[in-house]
Copies of this chain bind each other. A is one copy, B any other.
C-alpha cells in the first residue's frame, strides 16, 4: 500500500506550517571549515506561546541532546518553534529562540510563566568545524523570521548543510501524505535531518560497503498533521518512525540520537483563557484513518531520508574531507 502524496510532497502541505533555513559555509583555513546551519519549524502562523499545539515525542535512541522534551511529555504541547542545528549549537539556538519569543511575547517571564524551547540536533563534526562556535543566537532568530509556507529547500541546506547519511551527503528531506476515508481527508507531512548509516546498510539502493570513518550519526524527525489527535496519539505516531527507519536499513546505531516529535495543527490550546475546560474533538484510535496515519508516518520517514540524499550536493568540509552526492 502506498498512500497518496500531498500537493508538494512537503511538510508545508499542512496548512500554516512554516520552515526556515539559515546555512553557514566558510572555509576558515586549510584545516577548518564552517559547514553547518539552523532550521526552524513553526507549527502555525500565530504566536506559538499564546496558541499552543498538541504534540508527542519518541526517543527511539537517546544518544542525543534534544532540549525541550521533558515538558512536551508532561503537557503534550509545543509552544515555541522547533529548531534543528548541530550538536554543539543547542545552547546558542536555544538562546536565540528564547530571544525571539521574549521579543514577540512580552508577558513571558513577567506576568505569566516560563516558555519551553525545543532544539534538536545532529552531529556534523565530520564536515563542520564543530568546536568553532559559528552559530550565534541571531542565526536562530533569522531562521525563524525567514520561515515560510513555501515548499521546503532540501538536501545540504539549513541544519542539513554538514550532515552525512549512508556515507553520502545527507541533510534535510521532506515528504507528505494524504489519508482519506469516505469524505474525510487529513494531511500529514514530515521533515528529517538525516545523519546516519553505513553505505552497505541502505535498503533502497545497492551500494557496496566501504570503510567509513564517520561516527554513528543521528536523525531528527519532525512531523505535522492536520488530523485532530491527542498528545497520546501523537506519541503513537512518533513511535512509528522506528519502522520507517527500519525500512531505510537503519538499525538505530548506538551513537545515534533518533528522535521524533509530532504535532497536530487541528486544535490550538490558548495559553490564557476564561474557560476552565478545553474541548477537543479527536480521531478515534480504532478508526481506519488511524492506521493510515501510522502507515503515512512510515512512508514519510523512508521517503524523507531518501530525498535528503537525492537533493543534497557534494560538499567539501574540514580537513579537506569531501562527501559526495549519492548516486540516486
Q: Which residues of A does B touch, CB under 8 Å? A: 1, 59-71, 73-76, 87-88, 90-96, 98-99, 102, 108-110, 113-114, 116-117, 123, 125, 130-131, 133, 137, 181, 184, 198, 200-201, 203, 209, 215-216, 228, 230-232, 236, 239-240, 242-247, 250-255, 257, 259, 273, 275-287, 289-291, 294-295, 297-298
Contacts and interface: CB of A to CB of B under 8 A. Distances in A.
Nearest to A1: B200
Contacts of A236: 61, 74, 254
Majority-rule SS of A interface residues? mixed
Contacts of A99: 133
Contacts of A285: 75, 254
B232 A295 contact: no
Interface centre among A73, A99, A109, A298 (most CB of B within 10 A): A109
B251 A243 contact: yes
Contact of A275 (B200, B228, B284, B294): B284
Contacts of A94: 67, 90-91, 94
A130 B117 contact: no
Contact of A95 (B92, B198, B209, B230): B92
9 closest pairs, A vs B, by CB?
A: A62-B74, A246-B246, A243-B246, A91-B95, A91-B94, A242-B242, A67-B67, A251-B294, A109-B130
A91 B91 contact: yes
Contact of A251 (B61, B87, B297): B297
